Amino acid sequence: METITDFKDLTSRFCALERACRVVVVCPDDEPTVECMLTALSRSKVQFIVVTKGNPLPSALTAGERLRVEECADTDSAAARAVALVRDGEADVLMKGDINTDNLLRAVLDKERGLLVAGGVLTHITLAEAPAYSKLLVFSDAAVIPRPNLEQLRAMARYDIEVCRRLGVASPHVALIHFTEKTNPKFPHTMDYMTMIDEAKAGAFGPDVVMGGPMDVKTACDPHSGAIKGINSPVCGKADVLIFPNLEAANTFYKTLSLFGGAKMAAMIGGTTAPVVVPSRADSAESKFLSLALACLNL
């Protein structure tokens, strides 16, 4: 498989899929979600199930062979029904429309009827195309886990590495992010990083995974920075994955990279039995479409 190096490649690969990805969308009452769906219908073989809270189907969408509609009494019922469709094998991907993320994730996390993998960790996976970087960058966790412990850090790394492999990256380079390259007991996650690096060397994260840290983002993505500091990690300047120590750092990176760095983003939830796309209601139609493409390529 050739490596997907940018979002143009990602989109082309999605649109060329022979199988028809079945996507259930909860409450697509906003214009960007509708535009995303129209783009997917025109460019790919995707099939949609729309679950609404009683609102009529947006006029731009037409029910037919590749789009069916189910109505529910309210938002929570719509979320529960959409999750049930995925759990029962009628849909492959769950996608959020004009519904609060908390309402949707409450249904996803339902212990009896949800989508969380048994013993799994729910985490947010972002894929970024930044103009200043030569390849796509995967990072976690910008939306779900406030203060990841060692188990959660491991899960974040595993899910991100799996996304890299789906993108065709043969040897994922994983950077464990801190503001310096030094370990310090005052920052317990830096001690966890040492454990993870030893585990990666032993093959715990799969073959050909290269893991390094602690290091800052610039060192992870800029070889000159690592050389100046005398850091010999093979990850320096070559990171495919960034694992952040907390939600504040990852979310700030996400927003800064997008606003000031001109990056395009795609994102989905990992740790579930099927991909879950939970874009912000403020995200553009393009970002929602890219997230949908990412999810469908990770089935």
Q: What is the CATH number of the domain that holds 198?
A: 3.40.718.10
Lowest mean pLDDT among 19-28, 58-67, 132-141: 58-67
pLDDT digit string (tens) for 53-80?
888 888 888 888 899 999 999 999 999 9
Residue 2 located in a structural domain = no
The phi and psi torsions of 57 (rounded to 5 degrees) equal -60, 135
> Is residue 266 a part of any domain in this protein?
no
Q: Are residues 211 and 170 in the same domain?
A: yes
Question: How high is the pLDDT of residue 297?
Answer: 96
pLDDT for residue 229: 82
Judge whether 198 and 177 are in contact, CB under 8 Å.
Answer: no
| Residue 267 falls inside a structural domain | no
How far apart are alpha carbons 272 and 101 in whole angstroms?
15
Specify if 47 maps to a domain.
yes
Percent of the chain with pLDDT over 70: 100
Give the residue among 74, 55, 68 at the shortest CA–CA distance from 23: 68
Any domain includes 264: no
What is the pLDDT, as a whole number, of residue 132? 92
pLDDT at 86 over 90: yes
Q: How sure is the predictor about 25, in pLDDT bands with cuts at 50, 70 and 90?
A: very high
Per-residue pLDDT tens digits for 260-272? 999 999 999 999 9
Q: Which amino acid is at 122?
A: L
Do 99 and 130 share a domain, yes or no? no
**In a shared domain, residues 111 and 131:** no
Q: Please tell me whether residues 108 and 227 are part of one structural domain.
A: no
Task: Indicate whether 168 and 241 sit together in one domain.
Answer: yes
DSSP secondary structure letters along 18-60: SS--EEEEE---SHHHHHHHHHHHHHS--EEEEEESSPPPPTT
Residue 1 lies in a domain: no
142 in any annotated domain: yes
Q: What is the mean pLDDT of residues 12-16?
A: 96
Query: What dihedral do alpha carbons 42, 43, 48, 54 form, nearest 10°?
Result: -40
Q: What is the mean pLDDT of residues 79-99?
A: 97
Instruction: For residue 287, tell me if it sits in a domain.
Output: yes
- Looking at residue 246, its amino acid is N
My answer on whether omega of the bond before 214 falls inside 30° of 0, hence cis, is yes
Q: What is the pLDDT of residues 174-190, one digit of tens each?
A: 999 999 899 999 999 99
Let me know whether 239 and 183 are in one domain. yes
> Across the chain, what does the average pLDDT equal?
94
Domain total for the chain?
2
Predicted local confidence at residue 260, as pLDDT: 94
Alpha-carbon distance 93 to 80, whole Å?
14
d(CA 96, CA 189) in angstroms, rounded, equals 32
pLDDT at 118: 87
- The pLDDT tens digits for 118-131 are 888 999 999 999 99
Q: Give burial (CB, 10 Å; 0-12/13-18/19+) of 225.
A: middle
Mark whether 131 and 85 lie in a shared domain: no
Q: Tell me: do 30 and 77 sit in the same domain.
A: yes
Do 90 and 143 sit in the same domain of this protein? Answer: no
154, 249: one domain = yes
- Tokens 């005052």 sit on residue: 186
Q: Residue 241's domain spans which residues?
A: 123-259
One domain, residues 128 and 201:
yes
Q: Indicate whether 27 and 80 sit together in one domain.
A: yes
Q: What is the pTM of this model?
A: 0.94
